[in-house]
Structure 1
Amino acid sequence: MSDIHRYASVALVGLPNSGKSTLLNALVGEKVAAVSQMPQTTRGRILGVVQRGATQLAFLDTPGVHKAEHALNFRMLQHVDTVLADADLILWVVDADGFLGPGEKELAKRLKGAQQPVYLVLNKIDLVSKGRLLEKIVAYKDLLEFREILPVGAKLSQNLEPLWATMERDAPEGEWQFDDETFTDQTERGMAAEFIREKVLRKTKEEVPHGVAVVISRWIEAGHDDFPEDLDPSGLYLEVEILVERPGHRKILLGSGGEMIRDIRQSAQRELKKLLQRPVRLDLHIKVDEGWRDRPDKLDRLGL
């Protein structure tokens, strides 16, 4: 390894559904961020650390930039501002299959004041023709002065090498901030809660809006009095509370005869078994807590 170390914190910013979390997972090579087709799946700052030779890159996924309507949304946008202020490099991730609208133009104005280099990452190239991609580049290139414009396909890990090469080239000299075994600073408990919420969003789609939160109330290992006798001793038993804002949302989550919540539980158990490398049993409870997104005390307790 070279004696000269390089380190960069790299902010991933963009509008909802641009594929930032999918790109983060592809770059890290591990699933560290929840992914769904629903906007605003990411609520906080998510770290993914990668070592490439003498260079360490700390990628910071952020909530999609959107119009704030609740206290939760304002906090999400504060996460974006904090990451932008602290980052060494900024990746603006754009859906190459989308269109240049008011949201993108507002974000361009916001990034014009950045002191750091900004890179335009045109994501989802697997969904567009070369001609359409060139049109997209032309449409965006004059919005602000990009250091580079980099087309990628995060879902299929397409064309990531030019992005890697650019980040390694432009990372400033400096000591690594994480040991070489670290790939995220999220706890297993935090990741488990987010992946359960991901399943709720995927299964309910637009029927249940983003007034959903997941709280792991009990994390029970073998040896505890409440550990299920029929569960593998290497396994894990979780009691989980799913918060919704309205009684109607609870009804949707339950589904006919409890079918929806069973489907969510089974899907989440499979996901968590891969994450934690052991059998997981979930006990899900749905609780109505009206207006929780606008209560700072509640957001504090949820860590949002």
Structure 2
Amino acid sequence: MGDQPASDQNRRHATIAIVGLPNAGKSTLLNALLGQKLAATSQIPQTTRTRVRGVVDRGDVQLAFLDTPGVHLPKHALNERMMAHVEQALEEADLLLWVVDADGHLGTGERALAKRLRRLERPVYLLLNKIDLLSKGRLLEKVALYKDLLPFQEIVPVGAKTGVNLDPLWALLERDAAQPGWPYGEEAFTDQTERSLAAEFIREKVLRKTREEVPHGVAVLIERWIETGQENFPEDLDSTGVFIAARILVDRDGHRKILLGSGGEMIKDIRQSAQRELKKVLDRPVRLELFVKVDEGWRDRPDRLDRLEL
């Protein structure tokens, strides 16, 4: 320690799990804290399926955020794996951000999660999200409703979508980050690969475009990723770009027909929207091809889940 530069001696870090029920705004919060889009978001519950790590350096403090799937009762092998990602994040984290939809209802799911978090004996910050939807009076009622569920480190009302009240949250996390040193390099940002990000953002567009019509029985498999200089790289694509071919898996033929749309209009719309998103995320030209395949029961097949890295 004595050989380290003075600035390194003051460095501290914390691993912070973002947990909550589906649709509380966890991924939106992660994106807001990171200052750029890393996690897929939609109005469909259970959009997040794996643990997503994002790292932020602020002065002498390094904070590693873990976005997690919404806590729910598993119905498929996929859901069981999703809940395993939540458990892993809870065990790994030094601090816990429990994100609650402040405009929602305090029900059995929230109470069960409160009991689970209490047993961990870690600092828990209650984030009452979506405060832009509430009056001040209703917000105070929500604080009173939740405050006795467990001994919270802090209760912070936030608006993740609009970035409201995030500065006080930053101050609290920087204050309470107590682990010595930085486990990640200064250039570290995420544990997600470009391929995994591409698959997630294609799936996001499917969820956003089809809404409830094609629910959770959809996954995206990147089949080809061709960079300049590699065989079959398109001659008319910018040399800094990437060609991506992805297969969208669905549970049933009816979902395939919805995804294709009349005259192929829906899949064309999804492809164009995803291509624009990937161009921004990857910061280079992207050419995207999409195919749709029916793969009944893929959510209960371990081999398929392994290949999808779920």
TM-score interval (norm. to shorter): over 0.9
Q: Residue 84 of structure 1 corresponds to which residue in structure 2?
A: 90
- Cα distance in 2, alignment partners of residues 234 and 92 from structure 1: 41
Q: Partners in 2 of 1:127 and 1:139 — Cα distance?
A: 17
CA distance in 2, matches of 1:6, 1:222: 41
Confirm or deny that 1:98 pairs with 2:99. no
Contact kept in structure 1, 2:9 and 2:181, CA below 8 Å: no
Which residue is equivalent to 2:204? 198
Task: Give the conservation status (yes or no) of the 8 Å contact 2:54–2:65.
Answer: yes
Q: Structure 2: how far apart are the matches of 1:181 and 1:202? A: 32
Read off the aligned partner of 1:240 and give its amino acid letter.
Answer: A
CA apart distance, 1:258: 0.6
The DSSP-based 3-state class of the residue aligned with 2:191 is coil
Q: Which stretch shifts more, 275-284 or 199-208?
A: 275-284
1:231 aligns with 2:244: no
Rounded to whole Å, the distance in 1 between the matches of 2:237 and 2:62 is 41
User: What residue is the counterpart of 1:216 in the other structure?
Assistant: 222
CA contact (8 A) 1:15 1:104 kept: yes
Residue 156 (structure 1) aligned with residue 201 (structure 2): no
3-state secondary structure, aligned to 1:231: coil
1:38 aligns with 2:76: no
Partner of 2:144: 138
> What TM-score do the two structures reach when normalised by structure 2?
0.96
Partner of 1:62: 68
- The percent of aligned pairs where both chains have the same amino acid is 70
Residue-by-residue CA offset, 1:176-217 (whole Å, 9 max, x unaligned) = 110111111111111011000100010010000111110110
- How far, CA to CA, are the matches of 1:173 and 1:49 in structure 2? 15
The 1:159–1:2 alpha-carbon spacing in structure 2 relative to 1, beyond 3 Å, is farther
Q: Which residue of 2 aligns with 1:171?
A: 177
1:279 maps to what in 2?
285
Amino acid at match of 1:48: G
Shift of 1:2: 7.3
Q: In 1, distance between residues paired with 2:99 and 2:86?
A: 13
Q: Report the residue type matching 2:275 in the other structure.
A: Q
Structure 2 CA distance for partners of 1:220 and 1:2, relative to 1, 3 Å: closer
Out of 227-236 and 137-146, give the one that drifted further: 227-236
- For the residue of structure 1 that corresponds to 2:50, the secondary structure is coil
Q: Is 2:59 the partner of 1:53?
A: yes
Q: Matched residues in 1 for 2:239 and 2:61: separation?
A: 41
1:295 is the counterpart of 2:301: yes
2: CA distance between counterparts of 1:225 and 1:295? 33
Which residue of 2 is the match for residue 115 of structure 1? 121
Residues 8-45 of structure 1 deviation map (CA, whole Å, 9 limit, x = unaligned)? 00000000000000000111112110011111110010
**CA positional deviation for 1:3:** 3.5
Deviations 1:62-94 (A, max 9, x none): 000011100000000011011101110001000
- Give the TM-score normalised by structure 1: 0.98
**Structure 1 partner of 2:4:** none
Secondary structure of the 2:274 match is helix
CA deviation string 1:98-131 (max 9, x = no partner):
1111111111111110121111001111111111
- Between the aligned partners of 2:152 and 2:8, the Cα distance in structure 1 is 29
C-alpha contact (below 8 Å) 2:8/2:181 kept by paired residues:
no
Contact 1:213 1:243 in 2 (8 A): yes
Segment of structure 1 superposing worse, 17-26 or 217-226: 217-226
Tell me the distance in 2 between the aligned counterparts of 1:48 and 1:135: 33
